[in-house]
């Protein structure tokens, strides 16, 4: 129809446990910097993941991305693997990476980027709570 | 009689795991919720009390006071905690939303001002799953 860029969005969610911890620091520093998020027994969140794909709609289909396909990609690469898991203990992607909302956004972006056609822009926003979220790339 | 509700939030880890069952049975009954390394939620807690508005203040109960009681008795124990390990009033119980609502009721009920009574403890485990407990009366 036109050659204007359009963004499409897909939301998915997963429930996971985590804690903020820097293995290079002693327990006291971890506790001082990360406060209650450092609880050794973990805490958790209902994470909401918002994936944004931007590009010119395909002239044949009218789609930037088939949202059913996009949903399936997000499920296979992210939510099926992360849901009802402990991000620190169960997920290889976070080995040596602190599970802050910032780092979760970067890790998920890197998982999804190869799955989206290079000519389309990708942005990932992850909501840890209703009030806290991170977006990558910024 | 007027019902007053205060909404609070907390984030916690838990798992559904009956330790008197073998691992296979836990996985069969509780699925992903039985993950031994925990998972977690953003819980939303609704506490509803009922009372007759005081003629001088117009309040059934000062909502700030209700919030303070919930924070002291509940949120300090559960927020950023592991419900199975860290929370005294859930010790030895399955940490389902149902049992959590009952546990929270039992903590709050004896500690409210005499002129109001607890009506409902409602807990959202996710935006799509919630339970309500109205006491055993």
Q: What CATH number corresponds to the domain at position A71?
A: 3.30.479.10
- CB contacts < 8 A, A to B, total 77
ipTM associated with this complex: 0.86
CA A69 to chain centre: 17
A54-76 pLDDT, tens per residue?
999 999 999 999 999 999 999 99
- CB pair distance less than 8 Å for A86 and B38: yes
User: Which residues of A belong to the active site?
Assistant: 37, 84, 128
Where in the sequence is the domain holding A40, given as residue range(s)? 6-136
HSE, side-chain direction, 13 A CA sphere, residue B132: 6
A29, part of any domain: yes
Provide the domain count of chain A.
1
Phi and psi at residue A100, to the nearest 5°: -70, 160
The answer to the question of residue A1 being in a domain is no
Q: Is residue A51 part of a domain?
A: yes
Please indicate, yes or no, if residue A117 is contained in any of the structural domains.
yes
Question: What is the pTM (predicted TM-score) of this model?
Answer: 0.91
Contact A88, A96 (CB under 8 A): no
Distance CA(B93)–CA(B86), nearest Å, equals: 12
The CA-based angle A51-A57-A58, given to 5 degrees, is: 115
Minimal Cα distance from A46: which residue of B?
B41
And the tokens for A123? 């942005």
Question: Distance (Å, rounded) from C-alpha A106 to C-alpha B46?
Answer: 34
Nearest chain A residue to B16 by CA distance is A84
Q: Does B91 touch chain A (CB under 8 A)?
A: no
Question: In the numeric block, which tokens belong to residue A32?
Answer: 């001082």
Ramachandran assignment for B102, one of left (phi > 0), alpha (psi -120 to 50 degrees), beta (any other): alpha
B82/A89 CB distance under 8 A? no
Residue A37 is assigned to a structural domain of this protein? yes
Over residues B9-62, the pLDDT tens digits come to: 999 999 999 999 999 999 999 999 999 999 999 999 999 999 999 999 999 999
Of A79, A19, A23, A20, the residue nearest A44 (C-alpha): A19
Q: What percent of chain A has pLDDT over 70?
A: 99
């Amino acid at each position: 129809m036109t050659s204007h860029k359009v963004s499409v969005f897909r939301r998915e969610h997963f429930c996971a446990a985590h804690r903020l911890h820097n293995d290079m620091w002693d327990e006291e520093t971890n506790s001082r910097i990360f406060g209650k998020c450092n609880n050794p027994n973990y805490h958790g969140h209902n994470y909401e993941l918002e994936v944004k794909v931007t590009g010119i709609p395909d002239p044949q289909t009218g789609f930037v991305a088939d949202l059913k396909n996009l949903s399936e990609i997000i499920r296979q690469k992210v939510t099926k693997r992360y849901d009802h898991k402990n991000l620190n203990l169960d997920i290889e992607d976070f080995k040596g990476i602190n599970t802050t909302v910032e780092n979760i956004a970067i890790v998920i972006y890197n998982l999804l980027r190869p799955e989206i056609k290079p000519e389309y822009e990708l942005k990932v926003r992850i909501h840890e709570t209703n009030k806290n979220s991170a977006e990558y790339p910024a | 009689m007027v019902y007053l509700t205060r909404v609070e939030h907390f984030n916690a880890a838990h798992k559904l795991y009956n330790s008197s069952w073998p691992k296979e049975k836990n996985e069969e009954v509780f699925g992903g919720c039985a993950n031994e390394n925990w998972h977690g939620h953003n819980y939303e807690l609704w506490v509803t009390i009922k009372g007759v508005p005081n003629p001088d203040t117009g309040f059934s109960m000062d909502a700030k006071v209700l919030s303070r009681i919930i924070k002291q008795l509940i949120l300090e124990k559960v927020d950023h905690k592991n419900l199975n390990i860290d929370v005294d009033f859930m010790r030895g119980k399955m940490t389902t939303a149902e049992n959590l609502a009952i546990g929270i009721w039992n903590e709050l009920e004896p500690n409210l001002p005499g002129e109001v009574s607890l009506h409902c403890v409602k807990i959202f485990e996710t935006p799509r799953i919630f339970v309500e407990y109205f006491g055993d009366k």
